[in-house]
């Protein structure tokens, strides 16, 4: 997907509610940071910082409940400074995705909080394996191979300061293995040890272009 096509789609998605679905559909924009790791790569810790940005839309379905989805560009991966006998220095995995999370949320209309969760479908756009700034992505001993598609589950909570502005926290984890690693640092004893899972938390600002929690 070329970047200008993505931008045009995002703009269309955001303004749609102004012209067609203004009474039931609420749209907005999201920008934030991911703090991620990849379980199974030997690099523990939420040390990889990445961008999360896109658009969001939701329908009020009943009472304080809503159903919605996001269209996001999201940067996942892991990073660490390796130590010991297999030390190579600073290593980083960069997995970049186009992602569509679908969710259900409960809105606390009086308190300004919402709580929700759902599933996300992600399409891998690019990946890199860097060690001390050098790109080893295409070499045969690259330690990890991400899958083109990923399904993950997530839970989130947010607080709206104003009807149009909120801050949120999301925890997300791969439902199925998102990649495999069977070479580094040593071949595992069985295939189950090759599995890798995206594990991340996100801090996000949300700009909602219509009042969200009116009854």
pLDDT over 70 (residue 10): no
Spatial neighbors of 88 by CB under 8 A, at least 6 apart, are 82, 131, 132
Identify which has the larger pLDDT, 170 or 81: 170
* pLDDT for position 15: 52
pLDDT over 70 (residue 135): no
The rounded distance, in Å, linking the Cα atoms of 28 and 178 is 29
Confidence of residue 36 (pLDDT cuts 50, 70, 90): very high
Identify which has the larger pLDDT, 40 or 102: 102
Give per-residue pLDDT as tens, 51-86: 999 999 988 888 889 999 999 999 998 887 655 545
State yes or no: cis peptide before 134, omega within 30 of 0. Answer: no
Q: Where are the beta strands (DSSP E) in 20-64?
A: 25-39, 48-62
* pLDDT for position 47: 82
Averaged pLDDT for residues 137-155: 77
pLDDT over 80 (residue 44): no
Identify which has the larger pLDDT, 128 or 30: 30
Domain 3-208: state its class: mainly beta
Identify which has the larger pLDDT, 27 or 6: 27
* pLDDT for position 214: 47
Identify which has the larger pLDDT, 145 or 139: 145
Overall pTM > 0.75: yes
Which DSSP symbol is given to 163?
Answer: T
Token pair 């955001």 is found at 14
Identify which has the larger pLDDT, 143 or 51: 51
Strand partners, 97: 74, 124
Averaged pLDDT for residues 29-42: 89
Q: If we measure between CA atoms, which residue out of 57, 152, 160 comes closest to residue 95?
A: 152
Question: What are the domain boundaries of the chain?
Answer: 3-208
* pLDDT for position 89: 63
pLDDT over 60 (residue 13): no
Share of the chain above pLDDT 70, in %: 69
* pLDDT for position 7: 54
Name which of 8-17, 39-48, 89-98, 191-200 the model is least confident about: 8-17
């Amino acid at each position: 997907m070329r970047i200008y096509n993505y931008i045009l789609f995002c703009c269309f998605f955001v303004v749609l509610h102004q012209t067609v679905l203004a009474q039931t559909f609420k749209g907005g924009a999201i920008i934030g940071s991911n703090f991620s790791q990849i379980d199974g790569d030997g690099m523990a810790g939420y040390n990889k910082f990445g961008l999360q940005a896109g658009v969001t839309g939701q329908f009020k379905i009943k009472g304080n409940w809503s159903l919605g989805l996001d269209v996001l560009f999201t940067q996942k991966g892991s990073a660490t400074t390796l130590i010991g006998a297999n030390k190579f220095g600073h290593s980083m995995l960069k997995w970049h995705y186009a992602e569509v999370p679908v969710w259900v949320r409960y809105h606390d209309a009086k308190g300004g909080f919402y709580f929700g969760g759902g599933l996300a479908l992600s399409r891998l756009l690019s990946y890199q394996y860097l060690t001390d700034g050098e790109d080893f992505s295409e070499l045969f001993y690259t330690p990890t191979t991400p899958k083109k598609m990923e399904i993950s589950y997530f839970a989130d909570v947010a607080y709206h300061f104003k009807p149009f502005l909120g801050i949120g926290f999301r925890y997300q984890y791969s439902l199925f293995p998102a990649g495999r690693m069977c070479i580094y640092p040593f071949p595992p004893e069985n295939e189950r040890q090759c599995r890798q899972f995206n594990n991340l938390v996100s801090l996000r600002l949300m700009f909602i272009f219509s009042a969200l929690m009116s009854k």
